[in-house]
Chains A and B, each alone.
Chain A
Amino acid sequence: MPGALRPTPDPDASGLFSSTEPLRMSTRLDTSSAICLPAGGNTMGIFTRERETAPCTVEVSHCFESLHAHVKFDNGAVVHPGDEVLVHGTEIMAPYGEVVIESRTATITRATALQRAWTRLTGDLEFMELCEFSFSEEATL
């Protein structure tokens, strides 16, 4: 794949990297200082949401040949229905023509057993969004 492979910047030390951020910082979610509750726990709370951190590899390709973006958990963590994933650090901006691969840390907020069951039940119902037509779109441009 053409396009320079950028070395992984250290999000803390790289002032240069953060200067490439767009001006939407105010709207960006930044919970990198969030406290991580019991890490790596496999038990699922019924009422409590557990959080775990996982190292991950983020790949963003902003090339003519391929426009894609993926997050892969390096420790084999698996995301289940209703879980929420947050990749920490500055926004990953791949300049045009480049593939950026970075190692980051992600927080997986596990759904509670109830939430998971609920998402399984209702997730299927979310296809009803299919019928929402322009409820979410502007009907006139």
Chain B
Amino acid sequence: MIEFDPRNLADGKRAAAEGATAVLDRDPAAEDLGAANSDQATEVAMQDTLLTPRFYTTDFDELDRVDVSSVRADWDELIGRMKADPNKKHFRKGEGWEAVDWDGMEPQLKKELIDFLISSCTAEFSGCVLYKEMKRRGSNADITELFGLMARDEARHAGFINDALREAGIAVNLGFLTQAKKYTYFRPKFIYYATYLSEKIGYARYITIYRHLQQHPEYRIHPIFKWFEQWCNDEFGHGEAFALLMKTDPKLTSGHNVLWIKFFLTAVYSTMYVRDHQRPAFHKALGIDPDWYAKEVFEKTSAISTQIFPITLDLEHPRWQKGLERLQRASLNVSDGKKRGGVGGTFTRVVGMAKAAAAFVSIYTIPAIRHDVPASTRMEPSY
């Protein structure tokens, strides 16, 4: 799971509706008295960050009817690998985890780096909540085993990022459990499309940053990036599982569903583009041009997604990059309007939303590239 995960955005919207400004409800005034209760009494002044994952329900009967026998060999091999848990010892802070000079960091960079870590943590955590729910509610042994293993990985990823956040003086608050939660319905196929893509694009994002910093270690502003190589193999494997699930039912990747696939590809790519452009200082410090990064990640994700999706987006089309830039500008209008408020602000916001919608339609209607899908979906991480 990864930071601009669709599940996460949903939360962001809800948080905004409740008057918060971001995915997470940060309350600097609230002290983390939970920490004071532990032996780390020195951390009383930590900034408290409330995690607010969204809760989903789906058609669990449909999920239980999934029959993986048509992909049994690949399935067993993948599950066997996940069970062997090769990354079990990876998520430990040992040698190579240098201290980060948070106090000496340029304030804007610090803000953006912390925002990156918090949204990554929320995404991993939301993935864990969703997978665990699917594990608990299902009765199909293959399905529940898979979701149990993936929930384990995501909880581990979330714990690792949480620790990095603690070093930065940020404590997460899991108090959301005692707040009223509404369960949103998501059809299984939409969970497949959205989650498959978020796992695969997550892999592509992590590995692209990792390879870049391998060549330019001087830009490594935080030790966590050193862990990305093996980390992203977990995400790759999760994506493999969803590819196999989709393979069990050819209808999921044919007919009118191809339009849904195109929709999810467009939405996930453009969301990433817009959100990455919100962290200029972070990308500058990493020595990464967000436009270059977006292109790299889209190309990798597209190449991987040919394993199961019969189409890829035409990233070379003249309307593609232009449309993304229009969308980014429109998103600035919207947030600007929201900040200003009043009649003028509302007007700016509405115009911005209309512009964003038009930009989205303009990229969604670019003809997709069709190709044949291989008989077996299995792929190895190779970037």
Residues of A within 8 A of B (CB): 19-24, 28-29, 31, 58, 60-72, 78-98, 119-120, 123-124, 126-127, 129-141
Q: Does B347 contact A (CB under 8 A)?
A: no
Task: Give min CB distance, A86 to chain B, whole Å.
Answer: 4
Complex Cα distance A91/B271, Å? 33
Cβ of B254: which chain A residues have Cβ within 8 Å of it?
A: none
Which of the candidate stretches B172-180, B225-233, B284-292, B303-311 sits at the interface with the other chain? B172-180
Cβ of A123: which chain B residues have Cβ within 8 Å of it?
A: 184-187
Within 8 A of A (CB), among B87-125: 91, 108, 111-112, 115, 121, 124-125
Complex Cα distance A80/B137, Å? 11
Cβ of A64: which chain B residues have Cβ within 8 Å of it?
A: 159-160, 162-163
Asked if A135 and B334 sit within 8 Å, CB to CB, the answer is yes
Asked if B30 and A93 sit within 8 Å, CB to CB, the answer is no
In the assembled complex, 21 residue pairs joining A and B whose CB atoms fall closer than 8 Å, in A order, are A28-B175, A61-B159, A62-B174, A67-B155, A67-B174, A68-B129, A68-B151, A82-B182, A83-B183, A89-B178, A91-B175, A92-B174, A93-B33, A96-B35, A127-B194, A131-B267, A133-B334, A136-B13, A136-B14, A137-B275, A137-B335
Task: Give min CB distance, A136 to chain B, whole Å.
Answer: 4
Complex Cα distance A138/B336, Å? 9
Residues of B within 8 A of A (CB): 6, 9-10, 12-16, 21-23, 27, 29-38, 40, 48, 50, 55, 57, 91, 108, 111-112, 115, 121, 124-125, 128-129, 132-133, 136-137, 151-152, 155-156, 158-160, 162-163, 166, 171-187, 190, 194, 264, 267-268, 270-271, 274-275, 278-279, 327, 331-332, 334-336, 353, 356, 360
Complex Cα distance A98/B40, Å? 12
Which single member of B21, B37, B50, B183 contacts A82 (CB below 8 Å)?
Answer: B183
Asked if B178 and A90 sit within 8 Å, CB to CB, the answer is yes
Complex Cα distance A63/B171, Å? 12
Asked if A65 and B278 sit within 8 Å, CB to CB, the answer is no
Closest 3 CB pairs of A and B: A123-B185, A139-B335, A81-B185
Q: Chain B binding site: helix, strand, loop or mixed by DSSP?
A: helix
Asked if B40 and A96 sit within 8 Å, CB to CB, the answer is yes
Asked if B177 and A129 sit within 8 Å, CB to CB, the answer is no
Given A58-B177, A94-B34, A126-B10, decide whether A139 and B156 contact each other with a Cβ distance below 8 A: no
Residue of B with least CB distance to A140: B278
Asked if A132 and B9 sit within 8 Å, CB to CB, the answer is yes
Complex Cα distance A93/B21, Å? 24
Cβ of B155: which chain A residues have Cβ within 8 Å of it?
A: 61, 66-68
Asked if A79 and B183 sit within 8 Å, CB to CB, the answer is yes
Asked if B115 and A87 sit within 8 Å, CB to CB, the answer is no
Complex Cα distance A140/B278, Å? 5
Cβ of A90: which chain B residues have Cβ within 8 Å of it?
A: 178
Asked if A72 and B183 sit within 8 Å, CB to CB, the answer is no
Given A68-B128, A85-B181, decide whether A95 and B35 contact each other with a Cβ distance below 8 A: yes
Which single member of B30, B35, B129 contacts A70 (CB below 8 Å)?
Answer: B129
Q: Which of B27, B108, B186, B331 gathers the greatest number of chain A CB atoms within 10 Å?
A: B331
Cβ of B27: which chain A residues have Cβ within 8 Å of it?
A: 22, 24
Asked if B30 and A22 sit within 8 Å, CB to CB, the answer is yes
Cβ of B336: which chain A residues have Cβ within 8 Å of it?
A: 139
Cβ of B36: which chain A residues have Cβ within 8 Å of it?
A: 20
Cβ of B15: which chain A residues have Cβ within 8 Å of it?
A: 136
Asked if A130 and B271 sit within 8 Å, CB to CB, the answer is yes
Asked if A134 and B335 sit within 8 Å, CB to CB, the answer is yes
Asked if A96 and B38 sit within 8 Å, CB to CB, the answer is yes
Given A136-B9, A137-B23, decide whether A96 and B183 contact each other with a Cβ distance below 8 A: no
